């Protein structure tokens, strides 16, 4: 939250909202934040862009990417739900520097029903100032050019003197009783009817159901639900000084999509839905730290990139080629290449043959299992991709599994059975090839060292890995 408003004149206040003071973490997607006791700000993403994100560089800024008309990132400043007696005179937006500014569209108004817009708005250097003598309660800004806007500060000047007197509200009528939507949708709710026509027309939404989230006039479908209740509240009050309310219900279901469907989704069909993808294959996970490539199967033609900051950090082996994943993600389009890609991924489940190997070899601790189970785990290795094998041989703690004791057990089994190439790639196990068969005493000494190390490693495995199967998100 920004500093408390400071009195500037008899009935005028100023407040400054600094991005770097809002508690964001680096790379976090910006959402709703309180400016002060009277106003709040809601950031939103354009149809084909990465959502607004916070970066800690300098004093901190929020990045707004741009696109065509009505498609860019932006934000909405609006009165807080409990407030209806403050009106904005002036807004000043400060960018990090003039190089990170862009052409914008702005909209202002007393209510969400009627917003007047201006196109081709520009910064002056690193500052953009919007001033309206008739006052306003809502301010919307959209970046609709190609250059990025980096916002570091927003200042408001507002007053408690209304531009005109309002009559009391006598009724509020919802437009619909019920909405059926898919998970991830940002649904703009149909405007209610508020009487009389010259009453203060404005409203806000509330819900106690945590599976839904309210973002200004939008209901965001966070999770599956049936007939969740949302309340429409009037800003204006009746003759008794009370707000009027009415309710509607929302049901949320899944939105499954295939890789082919995501690749072929047309420009005009891309939306805010968080789509579910089931059991898709990781084709590549080595390009960079923010990017993996998915396809439906090893022989599928279509493929699609998943791009998200820190999603698959290099050298961690979190997701590797050959793995299978289920996830939620939004579809976006690169307007330069004309190709679709996925953003804001939420992994539901992930597995690969390195994980399968670990779960299989560590599943039990029985006498003689090095003989009875060796062929089973070796067969898993024979089916691994190069990347899966590298994960087994090099990974530390990843996907909830400590791979060090996994390797230690396998090495102990291989040595006991006299296996000279357990990984099938000619690499000596643990850097210690076996001594020739006639050196029985030396072989036994090597095996003893391995087994002692293995005992400690097994303890660390069971301490680290609490589950035998990986489920990143329930």
Q: What is the pLDDT of residues 132-187, one digit of tens each?
A: 877 899 999 999 887 899 999 999 999 987 766 678 899 999 999 999 988 877 78
The architecture in CATH of the region 171-253 reads Sandwich (2.60)
Mean pLDDT of 328-336: 87
Q: Quick one: what percent of the chain has pLDDT higher than 70?
A: 84
Domain ranges in the chain with CATH number 2.60.40.10: 171-253
The mean-pLDDT minimum among 15-19, 119-123, 462-466 falls in 462-466
Give the model confidence (pLDDT) of 233-257 as tens digits: 998 889 998 999 999 999 999 878 8
Quickly state the pLDDT bin for 432 (edges 50, 70, 90). very low
Q: Across the chain, what does the average pLDDT equal?
A: 84
Give the model confidence (pLDDT) of 367-384 as tens digits: 889 899 999 999 999 999
pLDDT of 61 strictly over 80:
yes
pLDDT of 471 strictly over 50:
no
Q: Does domain 6-159 have CATH number 3.40.50.970?
A: no
Domain ranges in the chain with CATH number 2.40.50: 259-351
pLDDT of 430 strictly over 60:
no
pLDDT of 8 strictly over 50:
no
Given 2.60.120, 1.10.20, 2.40.50, 3.40.50, which CATH number is that of 259-351? 2.40.50
pLDDT of 282 strictly over 50:
yes
> Quick one: pLDDT at residue 335?
77
Question: Is the pLDDT higher at 120 or at 286?
Answer: 120
Question: Is the pLDDT higher at 271 or at 126?
Answer: 126
347 to 83, 276, 292, 328, 466: CA distances (angstroms): 39, 10, 13, 6, 19
Quickly state the pLDDT bin for 68 (edges 50, 70, 90). low
């Amino acid at each position: 939250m920004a500093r408390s408003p400071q009195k500037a004149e008899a009935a005028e206040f100023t407040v400054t909202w600094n991005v770097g003071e809002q508690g964001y973490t680096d790379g976090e997607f910006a959402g709703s934040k309180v400016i002060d006791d009277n106003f709040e700000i809601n950031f939103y993403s354009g149809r084909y862009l990465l959502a607004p994100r916070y970066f800690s560089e300098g004093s901190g800024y929020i990045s707004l990417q741009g696109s065509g008309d009505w498609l860019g990132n932006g934000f909405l400043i609006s009165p807080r739900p409990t407030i209806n007696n403050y009106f904005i005179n002036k807004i000043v937006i400060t960018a990090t520097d003039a190089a990170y500014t862009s052409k914008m569209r702005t909209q202002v108004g007393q209510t969400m029903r009627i917003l007047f817009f201006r196109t081709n708005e520009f910064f002056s250097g690193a500052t953009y100032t919007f001033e309206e003598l008739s006052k306003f309660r809502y301010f919307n800004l959209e970046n609709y050019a190609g250059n990025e806007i980096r916002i570091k500060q927003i200042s408001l000047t507002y007053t408690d003197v209304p531009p005109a007197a309002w009559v009391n509200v006598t009724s509020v009528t919802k437009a619909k009783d019920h909405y059926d939507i898919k998970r991830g949708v940002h649904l703009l709710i149909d405007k209610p009817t508020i009487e009389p026509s010259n009453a203060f027309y404005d409203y806000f939404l509330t819900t106690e159901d945590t599976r839904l989230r309210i973002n200004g006039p939008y209901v965001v479908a966070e999770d599956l639900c049936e007939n969740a209740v949302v309340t429409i509240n009037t800003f204006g009050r009746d003759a008794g000084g009370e707000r009027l309310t009415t309710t509607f219900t929302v049901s949320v279901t899944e939105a499954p999509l295939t890789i082919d469907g995501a690749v072929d989704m047309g420009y005009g069909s891309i939306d805010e839905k968080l789509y579910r993808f089931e059991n898709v294959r990781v084709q590549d996970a080595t390009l960079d730290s923010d990017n993996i490539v998915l396809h439906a199967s090893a022989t599928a033609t279509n493929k699609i990139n998943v791009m998200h900051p820190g999603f698959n950090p290099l050298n961690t082996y979190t997701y590797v080629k050959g793995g299978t994943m289920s996830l939620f993600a939004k579809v976006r389009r690169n307007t330069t290449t004309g190709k679709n890609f996925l953003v804001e991924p939420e992994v539901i489940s992930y597995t690969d043959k390195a994980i399968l190997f670990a779960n299989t070899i560590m599943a039990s601790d029985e006498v003689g299992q090095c003989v009875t189970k060796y062929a089973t785990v070796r067969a898993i290795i024979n089916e691994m991709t190069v990347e899966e094998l590298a994960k087994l041989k090099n990974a530390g703690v990843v996907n909830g599994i400590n791979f060090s004791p996994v390797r230690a057990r396998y090495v102990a089994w291989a040595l006991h059975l006299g296996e000279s190439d357990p990984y099938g790639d000619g690499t000596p196990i643990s850097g210690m090839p076996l001594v020739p068969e006639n050196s029985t005493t030396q072989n036994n000494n090597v095996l003893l060292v391995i087994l002692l190390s293995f005992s400690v490693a097994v303890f660390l495995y069971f301490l680290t890995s609490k589950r035998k199967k990986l489920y990143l998100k329930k």
